[in-house]
Chain A
Amino acid sequence: MSQYASPARKPLIEGSKTYTDITEDICGPVEAAPNIPFIIGFLISASLALMGVTLIGYTIWKGIGVWGENKTIGWAWDITNFVWWVGIGHAGTLISAILLLFRQKWRTGVNRSAEAMTIFAVVCAGIFPLIHMGRIWDAFFIFPYWPNSRGPLWPNFLSPLLWDVFAISTYFTVSLLFWYTGLVPDMATIRDRASGFRRRIYSALSFGWRGTARQWQRFESISLVLAGLSTPLVLSVHSVVSFDFATSVIPGWHTTIFPPYFVAGAIFSGFAMVLTLMLVARKVMNLEEYITINHVESMNKVILMTGSIVGVAYLTELFMAWYSGSTYEQGAFYYRALGPYWWSYAAMMTCNVISPQIFWIKSMRRNLWVTFIMSIFINIGMWFERFVIIVTSLATDYLPSSWLYYQPTFVEVGIFIGTMGIFMTLFLLFCKFAPVVAIAEVKSILKTSGDQYIAKQAEEDKQEDEFVDDLLRSGSITVARRNKNSD
């Protein structure tokens, strides 16, 4: 027996889909030959990635003197990009772990692609601290290993930078496991429809999945365990990233609100990236009935909430800087807002706090163009937030005689654009070779959240509950036009 769902809930699968339709619609793009837009997109992304890799090689060969960093500003684009990319990943973890605990069914439409983005974003993020070391082979020494060949020396366990190594590598491992575990039954679905060499490949990828009751039972158990592991990760990863700054005594860095505020900001930027990519993907891959306007609206609500939390944090920081009575704190925020980098502060405030407020209006939340433009805004704004925190705090700290202005060189800009290329290349490969929507999970909500089932339930309930009559009268519940036999 399927669970009851109130007809007051919005449908999450449209077009009166049957189970067969779902399989066909989602496997279709994987099985078809790559089309022209895909090939063009892939070539552009791969070229950018190649450029990035080349410039990374150039940096390693020449040393980080080829970057624009100077004696005052030793963390700049590199760490900005690192924090930005780690943040991008957070939507996937939130959707797969926290929204699972909250039983939010709309997560099934976007969880697969968001989790994939998590992994690709962490890959991009991980590049930056490594190349920032200058002598990249030193990366070996950040890992504790046994037996320790460094004599009595260990990595500094009291350093938040080391905590970050643990946080990010745990995050990557758990996210990868979670993502791939979910993929196994869907890979098997593709395997069963394939033949020849393709079948052999997908057979290996699906680890011999047969869909037996025992396999499903174990699948459910491991999903729950991984969700349990991922939930604290949503909070801990970006909290630890924030410790990189907040444990210091640099004005503008040392502030107690950083951990939860970084987490909110990360989710904010992560959802923006999910929207940027999925608004395109749902159109190109004909997934509009699975990633519906209701999904988009839910994500815009998350964006509005996390954006407002971030806004409250910005204002709290400003207030506390004044209230603290500390000249250096006050100075840090004065120069942040009105100093040489005022434009980055202005961009951050506009993109992250002011513009998302239009999502209080329902028609804006449901407007795809507005959503797309806003998602780009937020991606930009959240990059500037990290730039503001990192660069402006260092640029004007305790000693005015050391104040310097930082400008990136083409190498830093190129590497950043290159990581976008790497991210997009990986994402496009994922879209081509794996089901971009979780087939099994979407099927699990069909009977409660498919539009035809909601209409049917409304018909059953209409004598019983007056709100159902209201909904039917106002036309909120409509029976999909394409009336296939629905079971």
Chain B
Amino acid sequence: MAHSHYHKPGIEKYDFDPKLRTVSIALMVVGLILFVLGIFTNMEYPTRIWTTMLHNTYYFLGLGLLGMFYVAAQTMGYSGWVILVSRIPEAMARVVPIFSVILGVVLVFGYKSIYHWAHDGIMDPASSHYDELIAGKAGFLNPMFFFGATVIYLVLWSFFTLSITNNSYKHDTNPGMKLYTRSRTLSMMFLFVFGISSSTALWHWFMSIDPHWFSTLYGWYCFISLFVGAISTTILITIYLKGKGYLQHVNVEHFHDLGKWMFAFSVAWAYLWFAQFMLIWYGNIPEETLYFMDRYENYKIPFFLNFCINFMLPFLVLMTARAKRSKFVLMFIASMLVFGHWLDYYLLAMPGAVKGAAYMHDGHVIHNFGFGLLEIGCPLLMAGLFLFLVFTNLSKQSLVPVNHPFLRQSYEHHTNSI
């Protein structure tokens, strides 16, 4: 048989480019300065400060977490083509433990500012702020449950991201089937845990920001939004590394397939967005429509941008095969989507939190569009940290999982036939 051209790829080391390191540190420094300035100029809005931190910490944690999901799902699906790029989402996944710590700190110190249900007197019938509906949810919305569950989610996610990636790295020096089989077992366990916690965690952290509102689809919607973000981030890092001369065996077919994932799940995101919006609009029950009314009235620009960037743009641009095979197009769309889903999470968090805080001030709603130094500084800071950590992780081991049983299939990924 004619496969003589195959030479098993060897260990490929990545050195953290000093220029990129400087950029990531500069991002952190600039972000921190802007953020601190933002804090000083917005001292009267602690809700905005803490909500921004929740939004950005979870968003970058989620990029890593969904990177892990991507790897685990591909492992369980016996994916062959993806192996050459799988080290990138793995490196992203390893940010989860560090961002978990930050998220924990944000929630501990910020939860009274972020969550209307945690405000004083909300659940106290004697208080003027008493809210019967929220008080009825005390079984779920109480600090004990909230923090207990938070610790469990973060510990489990950190455990699985570290153990799955460690196992994969160990495989480089311990060839054979044993560690591959173990990666399947670990991935399976992670998917089970994640399948439940990806919804329940988001109910606690984000859905409860709008404490009157509820939607059964919420967890899956949040999941798919970040999933597109994680795929887009993987594409951006792959293109960057390829541009620097690494990952020489990654060819246009790999990009085409990554582009298909980005396209397909952008459509899936739009499907869930539409399902949730349309059913609430059609049912027209005030308790439910309130959520969208608030965003439509007070956050019109991000509300429409969200749908345009995250659905219409990738849908129209990535439709053709040629677009998905162009690194330039992929880079453009992926950057837009990383921003777009960040905006989506902004819309999940900020409007409800600001409104909840306003209720505490004589019920007067401050229509604070709330986009300034805080909302620019914090993401820069977190993005810098994310970049720094991901590329540090990448530089610690081979960019190619040299002993993966499907490596050669990824190497020989030339055609699109079944």
A466 on interface, CB distance cutoff 8 Å: yes
Within 8 A of A (CB), among B397-417: 403, 405-406, 408-409, 412, 415, 417
Answer whether residue A235 sits at the interface, using C-beta atoms and an 8 A cutoff.
yes
Choose among B188, B275, B276 the residue with the greatest number of A CB atoms under 10 Å from its CB. Answer: B275
Choose from A1, A256, A325 the contact partner of B215 (Cβ within 8 Å): A256
Known contacts A249-B283, A467-B176; is-contact A257 B80 (Cβ 8 Å): no
The verdict on A323 contacting chain B, using a C-beta distance below 8 Å, is yes
Q: Inside 8 A of A457's CB, which chain B residues have their CB? A: 1
Whether B405 and A254, one on each chain, are in contact in the complex, defined by CB atoms closer than 8 angstroms, is no
A134 to B279 alpha-carbon distance, docked (Å):
29
Which listed residue, A4, A102, A319, A474, touches B77 by the CB 8 Å rule? A102
- A260 touches B (CB below 8 Å): yes
| Interface presence of A215 (CB below 8 A) | no
Please, which residue of chain A has its CB at the minimum distance from the CB of B196?
Answer: A312
Who on chain A is nearest to B132 by CB? A325
Contact partner of B279 among A243, A360, A456, CB < 8 A? A243
Q: Given contacts A3-B412, A8-B177, are A466 and B78 in contact (CB under 8 A)?
A: no
User: Given contacts A1-B2, A256-B276, A474-B177, are A316 and B406 in contact (CB under 8 A)?
Assistant: no
Q: Which of A1, A102, A108, A466 contacts B176 (CB 8 A)?
A: A466
B1, A460: Cβ atoms under 8 Å? Answer: yes
Chain B contributes a number of interface residues (CB within 8 A of A) equal to 58
Assess the B220–A323 pair: CB atoms within 8 A.
no
Across the interface, do B175 and A256 meet the contact criterion of CB distance under 8 Å? Answer: no
Q: Which of B8, B78, B267, B287 has a CB less than 8 Å from the CB of A465?
A: B8
Assuming the A-B contacts A445-B418, A466-B176, are A248 and B408 also in contact, with contact meaning beta carbons closer than 8 angstroms in the complex? no
Given the interface pairs A260-B220, A320-B216, A325-B133, the reply to whether A467 lies near B180 with Cβ below 8 Å is yes
A464 to B408, CA, bound (A): 11
Complex interface bits, A368-384 against B, C-beta within 8 A gives 1, otherwise 0: 00000000000000000
CA distance A309 to B408 in the complex (A): 33
Most B CB within 10 A of own CB, among A2, A4, A457: A4
Answer whether residue A189 sits at the interface, using C-beta atoms and an 8 A cutoff.
Answer: no
Q: Using a CB-CB cutoff of 8 Å, which residues 440-467 of chain A contact chain B?
A: 444-445, 456-457, 460, 464-467
Cβ A4 vs Cβ B176 within 8 A: no
B109 to chain A, nearest CB (A): 26
Given A308-B195, A324-B214, A325-B137, is A5 in contact with B279 using a C-beta cutoff of 8 Å? Answer: no
- The listed residue (A248, A312, A360, A467) touching B177 by CB distance below 8 A is A467
Among residues 157 to 211 in chain B, which have CB atoms less than 8 Å away from a CB atom of chain A? 175-178, 180, 188, 192, 195-196, 199, 203
Binary per-residue interface labels of chain A (92-111) against chain B in the complex, 1 for a CB within 8 Å, 0 otherwise: 00000000111101001000
With A105-B418, A466-B175 in contact, is A6–B216 under 8 Å at CB?
no
Within 8 A of A (CB), among B1-52: 1-3, 6, 8
Q: Which residue on chain A has the smallest CB distance to residue B81?
A: A103
B371 near A: Cβ within 8 Å?
no
Decide yes or no whether A24 CB sits under 8 A from chain B: no
Contact string against B for A residues 233-246, beta-carbon threshold 8 Å, 1 for contact and 0 otherwise: 00100010001001
In contact, A323 and B214 (Cβ under 8 angstroms): yes
The answer, yes or no, to whether B271 is at the interface (CB within 8 Å) is yes
Closest to B6 in A: A4
Chain A 309-343 interface 0/1 with B at a Cβ cutoff of 8 Å (1 = within): 10011001101101111100000000000000000
**B residues less than 8 Å from A248 (CB atoms):** 283
What size tier do the contact residues of chain A reach?
35 or more
Name the distance in Å between A458's Cβ and chain B's nearest Cβ.
11
Summed over the interface, the residue pairs from A and B with CB atoms below 8 Å come to a total of 134
B417's contact among A3, A4, A6, A301, by CB below 8 Å, is which?
A3
Does B140 have its Cβ within 8 Å of any Cβ on chain A? yes
Contact status B177-A256, CB under 8 Å? no
Query: Which of B76, B80, B219, B278 sits near A316, CB closer than 8 Å?
Result: B219
Q: What residues on A are CB-neighbors of B283 within 8 Å?
A: 246-249, 254
List, in ascending order, chain A residues with CB within 8 A of B180's CB.
8, 467
- Which chain B residues numbered 112 to 153 have a C-beta less than 8 Å away from chain A? 133, 136-137, 139-140
Q: Does B329 touch A at the CB level, under 8 Å?
A: no
A35 → B minimal CB distance (Å): 34
Which residues of A from 292 to 317 have beta carbons under 8 Å from B? 301, 308-309, 312-313, 316-317
Of B216, B275, B415, which one neighbours A3 at CB under 8 angstroms?
B415
Q: Is the CB of B418 within 8 A of A6?
A: no
Pairwise interchain contact A316-B199, C-beta atoms closer than 8 A:
yes
Shortest Cβ distance from A248 into B: residue: B283
Distance of A110 from chain B, by nearest CB (Å)? 14
How many whole Å from A294's CB to the nearest CB in chain B? Answer: 11
**Hey, which chain A residues are within 8 Å of B260, CB to CB?**
101
**Taking the complex as formed, is B316 at the interface, i.e. its CB lies under 8 A from any CB of chain A?**
no
User: Is the pair B78, A9 in contact by a Cβ cutoff of 8 Å?
Assistant: yes
Interface centre among B139, B219, B405 (most CB of A within 10 A): B405
Residue A258 at the chain B interface, CB threshold 8 Å: yes
B285 proximity list for chain A (CB < 8 A)? 249, 254
- Closest beta carbon of chain B to A71's beta carbon, Å: 24
CA distance A445 to B287 in the complex (A): 54
Report which of A4, A101, A232, A317 forms a contact with B3, defined as CB distance below 8 A. A4
Min CB gap B190→A, angstroms: 14
> Complex formed: what's the CA distance from A378 to B363 in Å?
52
Contacts of A421 in B (CB 8 A): none
**Among A5, A255, A466, contact of B216 (Cβ-Cβ < 8 Å):** A255
Cβ of A260 and Cβ of B412 under 8 Å apart? no
Contact bitstring A79-120, B, C-beta under 8 A = 1, else 0: 000000000000000000000111101001000000000000
Closest 10 CB pairs of A and B: A257-B216, A8-B405, A256-B217, A466-B175, A470-B177, A259-B275, A247-B282, A257-B217, A467-B405, A256-B215
- Could you list 21 A-B pairs, sorted by A, with CB under 8 Å? A4-B6, A5-B80, A6-B80, A7-B405, A9-B78, A101-B260, A102-B77, A257-B220, A258-B279, A260-B220, A260-B275, A313-B216, A316-B216, A323-B214, A324-B214, A360-B188, A445-B418, A456-B1, A466-B176, A470-B177, A471-B177
Chain B interface residues (CB < 8 Å from chain A):
1-3, 6, 8, 76-78, 80, 133, 136-137, 139-140, 175-178, 180, 188, 192, 195-196, 199, 203, 212, 214-220, 260, 264, 267-268, 271-272, 275-276, 278-280, 282-285, 287, 403, 405-406, 408-409, 412, 415, 417-418
| Chain A interface residues toward B at CB < 8 A | 1-9, 100-103, 105, 108, 232, 235, 239, 243, 246-249, 254-260, 301, 308-309, 312-313, 316-317, 319-320, 322-326, 360, 444-445, 456-457, 460, 464-467, 469-471, 474
